[in-house]
Structure 1
Amino acid sequence: MKIQKAYSTTDVHVAGEAFRIISGAPFVHYQSLEQLQEQLPHVFGEEINFLLKEPRGFAGLNGCLVVPPISLEADAAVVFFNHEGPVPLQYGGVAAVITALLECGQLQPQTSHEYNIETISGVVAVKAVMEQDEVISVSIKLEPSKVIQRNVPLSLEGSRATYSLVQAGELYAVFNQKDASPRILVEELSGLKRWGQAAIEALRSSTSAKGVILMDDSALKENKLKSITFREDGYIVRSPGFGPGAACLASSIHCSGIGLEEPVVNESIYGGRLELKIVQEIDGSYQCKVTTRGFITGMQTFVLDPTDPLYDGFLLK
């Protein structure tokens, strides 16, 4: 083996969604995170491909590059990216990063449990509670979510369906389980994948939605939701999703008129759970607080061998 470069990473999953936190930022001059983000494809593109693509990564793996903060109010700064390129903000990634920084001793625990993480989208306030050197909960307030349209008709798989357009960080098309044939169960996964691809194709020419969500809110009165989210490329998001969860809750409240004061648990098809609570409602917009926790799954050193025929990696979706 001929080693050209080596990289250290910490892998964390948050409700089933995987994040790879990379140590060692590129040695380039930057005066803002925006400037660093602009340079990443040019000065760190090889590393992103190497560490996120197979055989070292996979299609759903998210990247996090932690750097010293620029803002005086922040405890740390992070730039997010995936296989398509830089991502302005990933709330799940914020939860993953604060978990790794605290549990690995890179950030001193605060008695207030309050921290600030700087991102391209601004400084995100986080509450991370530790017990016996382990982060047991992470709470983040999301930007407000709002239903833009409801009961939008769509011809889907030869039948008529309706969906709601919800702005929750990104624009999502939210379908209700009762209007779709596959149930949100692992044993229905093949049918769900076909349904998701059909929904994405049907919506492609009519909306700029960044994701399709199938939601089961039949147990909403018991403070339970279940959902599955499909990205634009058809890939299934492994967690219930921070933005998708907020979109589901906003859609359910808007359409049913149910007032919710207690937290709601949104569960993914794989059993991952996020707790959501409405903390503020203003003019039809709902601000959610999401509570979850991250789990460190591994600390690894990857080596770059220039003779490796799969040097650039590959993706199977």
Structure 2
Amino acid sequence: MKIQKVYSTTDVHVAGEAFRVIKDVPFIHYQNLEQLNEQLPQVFAEEINLLLNEPRGFAGLNGCLVVPPVSREADAAVVFLNHEGTVPLHYGGIVAVITTLLECGHFQPKASSEYKIETASGVISVIANMERDEVVSVVIESEPCQVVQTKIPLSNPHLYTQFSLVQAGQLFAVFEKSDISTEIRVEEITELKRWGQTVLQDLESKFPIKGAILMDDSHLEVGRIKTITFREDQYIVRSPGFESTMACYTDLLSKGGLDTESPFVNESIFNSSLTVQVAEQTESGYKFTLTSRGFITGMQLFVLDPTDPLPAGFLLK
């Protein structure tokens, strides 16, 4: 085998969602992280395909490229990648990155447990609690989230329901499960996928949403909801979703009667969970603190043979 390219990565899952942390930085000039974020889809395109697509990755894999910080206040910087290109901010990716940097010895643990991660959306403060050299919880404060519009009817003759539009980093359509008989569980995944396909096809030409969320709030009195999120490409998010969790609780808070002093839990269809609590309410909307944990699942060395017939990989959905 002749080796043309070599990349080392650390794989992490956060509440079931998979991240590949990449530390092999492309040698390009950039003055700030926003500039790198813009350049990366072009200059790093081959590497994105190599590291995220099958047969080395899969459709649900997210990339996190760790680079030295530009900001003096930051401990590290990261650019988030997916199969479409770069993403300004991914809260789950921050959990994956801080877990990797601490557990692999790239960071010396701080007594304060507070770290600052630079992203294209700004510097994010993170509390990473450690026990016996292991990160046992990561707490992040979100940007403001707000409801854009409520009680919007879905214009589909076969599905009588309505939804809210919520801005939580990106624009989401939030639906209540009480409008359908299907339960959010793996055994009913076929019906759920059919539901997701129906609503996304109806919404795609009308609203610039990044995902449709089906929310079961029947156990809200004990501080729990259950959700499933369909991305705009109809792929199911493998975790409860940080943005999805914030979108749902922003929608629920806008309806009133919700205790803002207590933490709440969002559970995914795969029974993984995220904990969220209101941090503050501002004119721009609600800010939340989100608590989760990452688990390192592997450390890998990827190589590219120039004779490989599938250098760019492929995607199965």
TM range (shorter): over 0.9
In the alignment, structure 1 residue 271 sits paired with structure 2 residue 271: yes
For residues 214-262 of structure 1, give each alpha carbon's deviation from its aligned partner in whole angstroms, at most 9, with x where no partner exists. 0011111100011011111000111111111001111122225323311
Task: Tell whether 2:94 aligns with 1:94.
Answer: yes
TM-score (normalised: structure 2) = 0.97
Cα distance in 1 between the residues matched to 2:121 and 2:284: 23
Output aligned runs, 1:52-201, within 5 Å: 52-156=52-156, 158-201=158-201
* Equivalent residue, structure 1, for 2:230: 230
Tell me the residue number matched to 1:303.
Answer: 303
For 1:135 and 1:126, locate their aligned partners in 2 and report how far apart those are by CA, in whole Å. 12
Q: Return the letter of the residue paired with 1:27.
A: F
Contact kept in structure 1, 2:19 and 2:63, CA below 8 Å: yes
The answer to whether the 8 A contact 1:157-1:198 is kept is: no
Greater shift, 262-271 or 205-214, is seen at 205-214
Change over 3 Å in CA distance of 1:157–1:114 after alignment to 2: farther
Distance 1:230 1:180 in 2: 16
Give distance in 1, aligned partners of 2:135 and 2:49: 30
Which segment drifts farther, 191-200 or 32-41? Answer: 32-41
1:30-52 alpha-carbon deviations (Å, 9 max, x no partner): 11112212221232111110010
Q: Is the 8 A contact 2:147 2:167 kept in 1?
A: yes
What is the total number of aligned residue pairs between the two structures? Answer: 317
Rounded Cα–Cα distance in structure 2 between residues aligned with 1:55 and 1:111:
42
Q: 188-197 or 41-50, which moves further after superposition?
A: 41-50
Q: CA RMSD in A?
A: 1.2
The aligned counterpart of 2:313 is 313
For the residue of structure 2 that corresponds to 1:246, the secondary structure is helix
Q: Determine if the alignment matches structure 1 residue 282 to structure 2 residue 274.
A: no
Q: Equivalents in 2 of 1:184, 1:284: separation in Å? A: 32
Q: Hey, what's the Cα distance between the residues in 2 that align with 1:284 and 1:33?
A: 25
State how 1:232-247 maps to structure 2 within 5 Å. 232-247=232-247
Gaps of 5+ in 2: none
Q: Point out the more displaced range, 176-185 or 8-17.
A: 176-185
**Which amino acid is 1:147 matched to?**
V
Aligned residue type for 1:102: L
State yes or no: 1:34 paired with 2:34: yes
Contact 2:66–2:77 (CA<8 Å) still a contact in 1? yes
The answer on whether the counterparts of 2:144 and 2:284 sit within 8 Å (CA) in structure 1 is no
Paired residue for 1:203?
A: 203
Q: Distance in 1 between matches of 2:250 and 2:37?
A: 31
SS at structure 1 position matched to 2:196:
helix
Q: Please, which runs of 5 or more residues in structure 1 have no aligned partner?
A: none
Structure 1 length-normalised TM = 0.97
Contact 1:182 1:195 in 2 (8 A): no
